Amino acid sequence: MTSVDSKRRWMCAALAAGGAMSAMPSLAKLNFAREGFSWDSIFEHLGREQRSLLLDPSREIQILYSQITRDVEGRVKLHHHAFHHAPKRWFFPASTIKLPLALLACEEVARVDGNLESAILLRQAPETGIWDESEPLSESLRRSLRRTFTVSDNIPYNRFYELLGADKIHARLKALGYPNTRAISRLGSRDVNANLKTGSAQIIDADGKPLAGFGPRIAKKRSFPFGRALKGDGFAGDDGVVVAGPHDFSFGNFMPLADLHQMLLAFVFPEAVHESQRWKIPFAWREDILREMGRYPRESDDPVYTSPEYYDAYAKYFVLGGSMANAPEGYRAYGKIGEAYGYLSDSSYLVDKSTDSECFLSAVIHCNPDGIYNDDKYDYEETGLPFLAALGKSVLAFESSRNK
């Protein structure tokens, strides 16, 4: 595994020494349209097919882009831009919802004086949702983070959800400035009432000593914060039968793209946000967590992810798309992707050492042309992945031109 890029290491050292970064107001209150910025500078690098998608409302494309400018002393200034930002429009966050749950689990383990080798121990498997019979009830935080970010495994999310419980999740998210994010469902479960219940859990240290215990909990019922989330022309049940008409996604997970964008930014550059919006995660953990965020499957020794099933683009869509080839030398994406119900998304801190470029990029595209959900008939490979790959390349090409 290669180390986190040298610029990132310098930044960590600067912060540890008390280096200052420019203050940034909450993204939720920012006007993303910066004077003098034109998206044409980025979109001109896209192919004709990708540019046509930008004009198609059925694709529900949203893009958030944060430029990073460093002064001669290395201090960072951030400039934010948005394309078709729609914070109240429902879209399925899919696996991107794992980002806040992973960071909240880190906060909880840190709160009880644990570390990345501490384990989350469940007293029983979750009542609903994805959980393999062979899955152990105990797993270290480090291993869970690796599974989450390297291959977007669903089980660690359900472990984090069981540990935290929905009430604690939403209280903390609200305090951080994300009152509209909803993590109200286990992955693989559409049982609204069962998702309110979480069982007993413990945090134990590497030697098995209990650090904290949590009893069974029942959370209050929450839903989409902007009314009902009715989408599509039909929904295919698990038996394949399609129920015609819009499906109600109101009790599924939801996260505005701006929330996702800021959650990641606040982790990578904590000094760039207000103190109240910083994750309470020890500074000493940050480079290890970033390493897990940016790791390619071939670089993991526990678990071992073998090719060709697992490839560099398996959980990293910007620049790489659906390519089976190794990532370009010097390119890293630190963030989280999502793919479900026809929505394809990525939110990442992009670093290209070959051109000395870095930025934050978040985007979502709808890949469900027939309007039927849960039928697995989505055009991810044909449309969504090529679009996100091209967008990532275009943004980095623009960043490279800024550096010249």
Residue 403: pLDDT band (50, 70, 90) is: confident
- The token pair at 318 is 């910007």
pLDDT for residue 10 is more than 60: no
Q: What is the mean pLDDT of the chain?
A: 92
Q: What's the pLDDT band for 135 if we cut at 50, 70, 90?
A: very high
pLDDT at 30: 44
Look-up of token digits 């559409």: 190
Q: Which two tokens stand for residue 321?
A: 């798309």
Contact between 228 and 235 (Cβ < 8 Å)? no
- Other Cβ atoms less than 10 A from the Cβ of 14: the count is 17
Q: What is the pLDDT of residue 35?
A: 54
The answer to whether residue 345 scores a pLDDT higher than 90 is yes
Amino acid at 299: E
The CATH code that applies to domain 6-403 is 3.40.710.10
Looking at the predicted structure, is the pLDDT value of residue 364 above 50? yes
Give the H or E element holding residue 334: strand 331-340
CA distance between the termini of the chain: 30
Per-residue pLDDT band for 373 (boundaries 50, 70, 90) equals very high
- In the prediction, which pLDDT does 63 show? 97
| Mean pLDDT for the stretch of residues 123-128 | 97
Rounded mean pLDDT, 322-338: 97
**Least confident piece of the model among 15-24, 284-293, 311-320, 389-398:** 15-24
Q: What is the pLDDT of residue 1?
A: 40
Cα 71 to chain centroid distance, Å, stands at 29
pTM of model > 0.75: yes
Structure-token pair, residue 248: 């109600």
Residue boundaries of the structural domains of the chain: 6-403
For the cut 50, the answer to whether the pLDDT of residue 19 exceeds it is: no
Check whether 163 has a pLDDT greater than 50. yes
pLDDT in tens, 190-224: 999 999 999 999 999 999 999 999 999 999 999 99
Average pLDDT score over residue span 115-133: 98
Q: What pLDDT is attached to residue 349?
A: 98
Q: What percent of the chain has pLDDT over 70?
A: 91
Report d(CA 103, CA 312) in Å as an integer: 23
Assign 20 a pLDDT band (cuts: 50, 70, 90).
very low
Proportion of the chain above pLDDT 90, given as a percent: 87
pLDDT score of 394: 97
